[in-house]
Every structure is written in structure tokens, then in C-alpha cells.
Amino acid sequence: MRKFSFWLWAVVIFQFVTAAFHAVSLFVNPSPQNDTEKQLFGLMDSYHMPLGMGFNPTFADLLWALSSCFAWLYLFAGLMNLYLYKKKIPINVMKGVMGINLIIFGISFGIMAALTFLPPIVCTGLVFVSCVGAYFTANSKV
């Protein structure tokens, strides 16, 4: 039970850290380093894609929405895991919850590893590894 508790706390802490890092990134406004980046940033903020039904977002709008949802997902999962741990639910139920975490954050880690850069890869990787540890150290006996 001690090993499971360690891994569960690691999951929760890494989920909160990942949420915090991603939330902070929503308020950082990078500055372009050259003319190509200046043009790219200008288009991301000004070009409105006509997607139909009156929906005309910019790429910056879509990026902001995806980034904020990513932060909210990790915050929600961390709070839910912490709440369930504090309520002392049976370990077999908690193992199932960790199994769900393992699938969701494993897929998230795979996507981050394939499509992003080092900080989100490391953060999601730490969450995933912690989920693996929590899942496999949970005893299925109550």
C-alpha cells in the first residue's frame, strides 16, 4: 500500500504541475525572432478561417482553446485523484481509476511525444510513468 500511495501522490503532483505549466503558457506572449516568425504570428492572430455557421476563429483562438482545455484536463484529473484518495475508496476501485488515467494520459503522452517539444513531452511522460507505477502497485484486494 505504501508503494501505491507514493505513486498516486506522484500522479497527482505531476498532474498539477503539468496543468500549472500549461496554464502559465497561456499568458506568455512570445515575440517573433525574425521576419518569417513575424509574418506567422501576424497571420495566426489576424487570419479568420471561415468554418461555416458563423464560426470564424483565428489559429491563435484555436490554439488558446486547445491549450486551456489541456490545462483543465490535467487539473480535473489531479483533483479527482486527490479527492478519491482522500475519501479512502477501496483499492480495487482506485486501481480501476488508475487504469483509466493510464489509458488517457498514455494516449496524451504519445500525442505529445509525436507532435510537440520537450517540456510537454517531459510533463506528460512523468504523469504517464506515475500512472503506470500507481496501477501496477495497487493490490486488487481490499
What's residue 75's pLDDT? 98
Rounded Cα–Cα distance for residues 118 and 67 (Å): 16
Distances (CA, A) of 69 to 40, 62, 73, 84: 23, 11, 6, 22
What's residue 51's pLDDT? 87
Rounded Cα–Cα distance for residues 142 and 139 (Å): 8
Answer whether 15's CB lies under 8 Å from 78's CB: yes
| Biggest CA-to-CA distance, the chain | 62
Output the tens digit of pLDDT for each of the chain's 142 residues: 689 999 999 999 999 999 999 999 888 888 899 999 999 999 999 999 888 898 999 999 999 999 999 999 999 999 999 999 999 999 999 999 999 999 999 999 999 999 999 999 999 999 999 999 999 999 854 4
